[in-house]
Structure 1
Amino acid sequence: MTTAAVGSETGRMTTAAVGDGEADRLFAVGRGGDTDRVITGDRRADTRRLLAVGRGGDPEHLLTGDRGADTGHLLTGERGRAADCVITAGGAYAARLARAGDSWFPERWTLDGPEPYAVPLPGNQPEEPGTEVQPMADGRVLIRRPIEGRHAFSLLYPTGPGTGELPLGAVECPDEGTRLHLLPPAPCGERAYALAVGRRTTTVWLVAGGTFGPEYLAEIPGRCSGGVWLDRTGRMLALDREVGGRTKTIVVDLERDGEVSPLLQIAADSDDRLLLADTDSGLLLIRSDAPSPGEARLGWGVLGSTLPVRFPESLHPPDLALTPFASQPGQALLPEACAVALRIDSPCGTWVGVWRPADRRLHQLRAPEGWLAGSGVWTPEGVLRLPYATEAEPCGVAPLTAPLTEPPSSAPSPSPSDGASPCEEPPRPAPAAARPVPLQQAPLGRLVTK
């Protein structure tokens, strides 16, 4: 297991380190002298207490996760393939663009009842390519429609046999180089946000839940991507910012006029991205090339902890692209027991992975036929609910419970909907011999404090 030190409580970082506990490998990474601060994830009212995490600059290299693609290829500026549907933070509703022949229309799913059911929300005409939908906590569906240099937002809701629509306004993006997209659903479910990425700056917009339509919130220097909420109120937003050819994760405080603080800065020349944060346990899923320059790897850490970020071999299987999409709620202060669901892509299909830090193993499991890939929600009891749609069952949810220990000779199975033959699980790499691999001169022993 490769580890990277995450800082000190003083807000000042002089050295970061990366090591491998499972294979007894040692990587020394990073130096710095500036004050680099990180939001602690303290679940009390004061969310502005900060913790140092390292030093660095900022590119956007990430495993693509595209089905059938070369999973070892690094694609600039992409987090991975988007989920086929979007689920509210509370798990009650989902929304997607469904297909009827050659046309697309919004569809809302209700997930918190005895049985899931879908409600179509077609407009007066089919939706255009590039349209996005997002469910709100009250059951309405936000839709973003790109229209000639601007983006129009509306709330959709069922009205008997038809669809009601409440226009919210539009955000103009006259610059052809500006891309606007919705951020993941806010924890409260009452507001929705969008990110407009320009050539040199990024703007955060409140597009639903405000007083007078879309509201400008903050402009951030640099090009940002991603988007992970760090608290339950929707105040602290983590973004991956590219500046000077390097990508680092920052925190944007939406209640302090978009005040920006560093979050992930493992090494000066590494690309560090935050993919997932669990607000109950504090578990973080990170992608960084700090332990292996030029090769992005998944790692995990704990928000607010001074212990290292770890990069276990179980999250680095050969020829597979892993993308985390859901974490188990209710694991307060128990990050090692928090289960994480991952989308697994390979040339022979797409299936589901389940991983817990305490297990140190990646369980690879068959996805239901018609799985809306990259989407799902955990129950506090540890059941992963995966939405799927087939011709026979256009709205379904399959429960999946991962074993606590991996059975011997298990093999990952692609989703039956892919029509691909099962892939054999790649052999687990043997532990490397104990030898130091100095990336920079930084002793590891003095860095990890409790």
Structure 2
Amino acid sequence: MTACAIEGETTGAAATVSPVSGEAGKAGEAEGPGGREEPEEPERPEAARGPEGTWGPREPAMSHGVVDPLVPDESGEPGGGVRATTGAAAFTIAADGSYAARLTLSAAADAAAWFPERWTLDGHEPYAVPLPLGRPEEPDSDVLPLTDGRVLIRRQVADRHTFSLLYPTGPGTGELPLGALECADGARLTLLPPSPDGASAYALSVGEHSTAVWLVAGGAFGPVHVADVPGRCSGGVWLDRAGRLLALDRQPAGGGPVKAVAVDLGRGGEVTPLLQIAPDSNDRLLLADADSGLLLIRSDAPGHDRLGWGVLGSCLPVRFPECLRPADVAVTPFAVQPGQMLMPESCAVALRIDGAAGSWVGVWRPTGRRLHQLAAPEGWLAGSGLWTRDGVLKLPYANGDVPCGVALVEAPVDEERGVGPAWAAATESGMQPSAAAAPPAVCKPVPLGQAPLVGRTAPG
């Protein structure tokens, strides 16, 4: 167990961008090859046009950086990589898409200060509510929205991490302290993505030999230790809608390849393997959809880091489409279309594309075999957004004219492809086909086809 001491306090994310609020121009879609021949070809903007072109915002993609726990640094340690953002703090969306939260700078010219801001996304028009207190926040604080409208904030002072819930109250901001954790011996602590149950929040504390999972909101008396996972863990992807099955990217304490594992929080942190594409490959889980079982994976099994996809319960190997590795850009998935019950190949996936011209949006489906590249609204909070069940992508943005806006992007339609016996069998059975006629003798990769996720049932 990592060295964290509790200081409890008894308290109880087709080519037309349509703005919901403010103005946004039309997004032109570059026409690319749409044939069915292999290899798959990405659709690219012309010469990655610069800031005044159709493809890219006015500020560079790498104007700010934050630590990305999914990317290893030169030493191989997880958490050392950097991902691009358009702001100094992350924009986090609640599990059901109702609220979002971020840290933002006050508009005061004399003394700019950071304060939390909550966005309401599920109404007719988005709006933001500032949640300032009597003191400015540190820019390295974390905020996370709950589905009841409250916002969790994690603050750090030296080795002490405090947690509170913020909420609007009349003209001011209310604060409910939840307790604190004191992490010694250089242990790092980060918030996990919002829990699917909407009422809980978890954090990872990475120690020298193991990683602790803490329930920091939703418990009865402050932070609660719920699991201890051997090794150094990063990432964090929920595999179900109950907030029980958590995927983490784990590296053995003594070094070695990073492998995604499943942690069952309902069984005291029982750990089972989830990804093992090759014995020595680094296999990380980036996104998972609980409805369809679609997984978005980053692995160096093909020889270098590639984006791939697989399906929980499938015996097919992980596939690494060529269209997901366009030249001279970085591609990162950030949202999967929900509601596609047992149809992982039809899910639309939204991707952030970072290049020399800036950041823009990609849309891809496993069956489409084509990466559609679309312009982002001005001021897009890059890397954030969410899908509706009907295939509309909602992209939050903020600029000088619109302090709180959401652009609606209809997913481009892929060319129809022939449906062979294997896909027909997949539709009827609700599972990915293992072969056109007979299942293979050996399931690869292990253990996607044998993932021992105890108690997993089809979504209702």
Name the TM tier (shorter chain): 0.7 to 0.9
Letter aligned with residue 103 of structure 2: L
Q: Of 95, 101, 126, which aligns to 2:136?
A: 126
Alpha-carbon separation, structure 2, partners of 1:341 and 1:197: 30
Note if 1:153 corresponds to 2:155.
no
User: Which residue does the alignment assign to 1:37?
Assistant: none
Alpha-carbon separation, structure 1, partners of 2:363 and 2:288: 16
How far 1:174 sits from its partner (Å)?
A: 1.9
How far 1:402 sits from its partner (Å)?
A: 2.4
User: Which residue does the alignment assign to 1:95?
Assistant: 101
Gaps of 5+ in 1: 1-20, 25-64, 407-443
Letter aligned with residue 235 of structure 1: R
What are the Cα deviations for residues 332-381 of structure 1, in whole angstroms up to 9, with x where unaligned?
00101101111111122111111100100111110000111111010000
Aligned 8 A contact 1:68 1:348 in 2: no
User: Which residue does the alignment assign to 1:51?
Assistant: none
Aligned 8 A contact 2:63 2:84 in 1: no
The correspondence of residues 250-329 of structure 1 with structure 2, limited to 5 A, is: 250-292=261-303, 295-329=304-338
CA RMSD of aligned residues (A): 2.2
What are the Cα deviations for residues 112-160 of structure 1, in whole angstroms up to 9, with x where unaligned?
0010000000011110131000000100000000012110000000011
Letter aligned with residue 165 of structure 1: E
Alpha-carbon separation, structure 1, partners of 2:278 and 2:116: 43
How far 1:308 sits from its partner (Å)?
A: 1.4
How far 1:245 sits from its partner (Å)?
A: 2.1
Alpha-carbon separation, structure 2, partners of 1:364 and 1:97: 29
Alpha-carbon separation, structure 2, partners of 1:231 and 1:182: 18
User: Which residue does the alignment assign to 1:412?
Assistant: none
Note if 1:108 corresponds to 2:114.
no
Aligned 8 A contact 1:68 1:347 in 2: no
Aligned residue-pair number: 347
Note if 1:332 corresponds to 2:341.
yes
Letter aligned with residue 290 of structure 1: A
Secondary structure at 2:266 match in 1: coil
How far 1:93 sits from its partner (Å)?
A: 0.3
Gaps of 5+ in 2: 1-36, 41-60, 66-70, 416-438, 450-460
Alpha-carbon separation, structure 2, partners of 1:129 and 1:277: 29
Letter aligned with residue 257 of structure 1: G
User: Which residue does the alignment assign to 2:83?
Assistant: 81
User: Which residue does the alignment assign to 1:249?
Assistant: 260
Alpha-carbon separation, structure 2, partners of 1:23 and 1:332: 29
Greater strand content: 1
Note if 1:143 corresponds to 2:153.
yes
User: Which residue does the alignment assign to 2:49?
Assistant: none
Aligned 8 A contact 2:62 2:84 in 1: no
What are the Cα deviations for residues 156-199 of structure 1, in whole angstroms up to 9, with x where unaligned?
00011100000000011122x21101000001111000001112
Task: Flag the 1:82–1:187 CA change in 2: closer, same or farther, 3 A.
Answer: farther
Secondary structure at 1:322 match in 2: strand
Matched-pair identity in %: 66
The correspondence of residues 19-418 of structure 1 with structure 2, limited to 5 A, is: 22-23=38-39, 66=62, 75=73, 76=76, 77-78=78-79, 81=83, 84-101=90-107, 102-175=112-185, 177-243=186-252, 244-292=255-303, 295-405=304-414
Secondary structure at 2:319 match in 1: strand
